[in-house]
Amino acid sequence: MRDVRNYVDGKWRHIDSAHTLDVWDPSTGNVIARVPISDEYQVGEAVGAAAGSASEWRRTPASERVQYLFRLKRLLEDQIEDLARCITIEHGKVLGESRGEVRRAIDNVDMACGTPVHLQGVFAEDISAGIDEAMIRQPIGICVGIVPFNFPLMIPCWFLPYAIACGNPFILKASERTPMTAELLFELLDSLGLPPGVVSLVHGDASTAESLIDHPDVRAVSFVGSTPAARAVYARAASGGKRAQAQGGAKNSLVILADAKLEAAASFAAESAFGNAGQRCLAGGSAVVVDAVADDFVEAVAHHARTRVIGSGLTPGVDLGPMISASSRQRVEALVEAGVSEGAQLVVDGRQPTEEGFFLGATVLDSVKPAGIVGTTELFGPVIGISRVADLGGAIEVVNASSYGNMACLFTSDGRSARQFRYEAQVGNVGINIGVAQPMASFPFSGWGDSFFGDLHAHGPHAVEFFTQTKVVVERWP
C-alpha cells in the first residue's frame, strides 16, 4: 500500500488530501495504492509551474528539445520489463500485451524525435511586387492530457512527447485506476533534467480534470475516454476557447466474407475481441458474417474462446487477464444477459464467479441483433457478438448504421470487395485481413462519428498541427 505522488515544478509532491481513491490489483481484488484527489490549488500549482517554464522552453531550439526525447527512448527501452510488469499489476493485461504497449509508447517517442522536420514552415517569394510571405509554426501554450486506464503508458505518449517537442509545457492527468505506470514514466522524465515545469503529473478524478480544462492558462486539451465523457470534455474546452481533441468510445465490426481464410479470420477476431480483456477502443466486439460461412465461423471462434487460459497476467501461459474492476465485470455480465433476453444465443458463457479478482472469461454470442443492446453498445469486455448478413452490401449497412466510426475490418480474398469496403465504410480506421487496425505512430488515429470530437487526431502529422499554431508573415523591404 502506498500513496502515489504528483510531479510539479520538477519535484515530487505528496498530496495531503482528505479524499483518496483506491487502486486495485484486478487479479486479486486487493488494494495496492491510494490516489489523492488534486484540488484547484494543486491544479493551479501545476499550471503555474508550466507557465513559468513556457517562455524558456519555447526559445529552446527544437533540435535541443528532442534530445531529451532521444534519451527518454533509451530509458524506456532499458525499462521495458519493469514498465510492463507495472502495467500488468495495476491493469491486469497479460505481460505480453503490456510489453506491446510499452513498444507502442516507444514508437511515439521515436516519432516525436523527428519533430524539427515537421515544424518547418512555408515561404513564398514575390507574392506581389517586392513582397514575400511566410507561414511559421509556434507553440500553442500549456497543454493538458487526460487519459484512460486501459493503456496507461501508450496513450500518454500519444500526446506528451509531441507537445514538448513542439515547445509546449505539458500536464498529464493520469487515470485514477492506473496511476502507478504514470508515476514510473515521470520518474524516467525526472531523470532527464528537463527544465522545471515543462512536464507535470497531477492525480485525481473528474473534478481534477475539470479544473485543468477550465484553467484560463491552459490552451489545449487531449482526451481519451468514453463517448459521453469525450463529448463533455470537447464542449467544455471549446466553450473556453481552447483547442481540443477528444477520442470517445467505439463499436467496431469485423466483417467476414465467404472467401475469407476462415481459421485465420477466427483467430484474428478472437484476439481482437478478447485481447486486453476487450478493454480497448479498437476491440472487434462485433463480427458480421455472411450466412454461407456463419456456422463454421461461430464454431471456430467458440473454440478460441473455450481454450483461452484465464488468470493473472504475470503467470506464464495465461492469455486472458482480469477486467479493471468488479463493477466493470458486473456491467458486462448484465449486457450479456440483456443480449440473451433479446434473442442472442449464448455459445460460450465466460461468466465465472470467483472469490478473487475481477475475471470474466471469453464470451461468444451468436445471432445478435445489430440494432439491439449488444449490437450497439460498447461492451468493453471480452465478448464477441456475431450477426449474420446475406452479403457484403448488408455488412456495410450494419457498419454504417452505427453512430460510432472508429474501426471496421474486412476479411476476404477478393481485392474488389476490399476496395468497396475501404471506399464505403464510414469509419476512420479500416483493416483488410487485420483484426486490430491500429495506426502506427507515423499516421493519425483517425476516429469518426461519436468516436472522436475535434479536427486533429492523436500522433502522426496531426500531432504537430495540434500542438502548434500557425502565424503568417507578410514582408516588404523598400
Catalytic residues, by residue number, are 281
Those residues with Cβ within 8 angstroms of residue 155's Cβ, 6 or more apart along the chain or in another chain: 147, 148, 224
Residue length of the chain: 478
Those residues with Cβ within 8 angstroms of residue 243's Cβ, 6 or more apart along the chain or in another chain: 140, 219, 220, 221, 237, 466
Contact 37, 205 (CB under 8 A): yes
The residue whose grid cell reads 484512460 is 148
Task: Look up residue 362 and give its amino acid.
Answer: A
User: Among 331, 231, 236, which Cα is nearest to 279's?
Assistant: 331
**What's the rounded Cα separation, in Å, for the pair 302 and 310?**
15
Helix (H, G, I), strand (E, B) or coil at 328: helix
Contact 205, 222 (CB under 8 A): no
Tally of CB atoms within 10 A around 35: 25
Helical axes 80-91 vs 179-190, angle rounded to 10°: 160
**What's the rounded Cα separation, in Å, for the pair 181 and 90?**
8
Three cell numbers, residue 265: 479470420
What is each CA distance from 367 to 274, 387, 408, in whole angstroms?
Answer: 19, 5, 19
What is each CA distance from 283 to 53, 268, 379, 385, 408, in whole angstroms?
Answer: 39, 11, 10, 12, 10
**What's the rounded Cα separation, in Å, for the pair 150 and 353?**
23
Contact 213, 242 (CB under 8 A): yes
DSSP tag of 433: S
Tally of CB atoms within 10 A around 369: 15
DSSP run (H or E) holding 20: strand 20-25
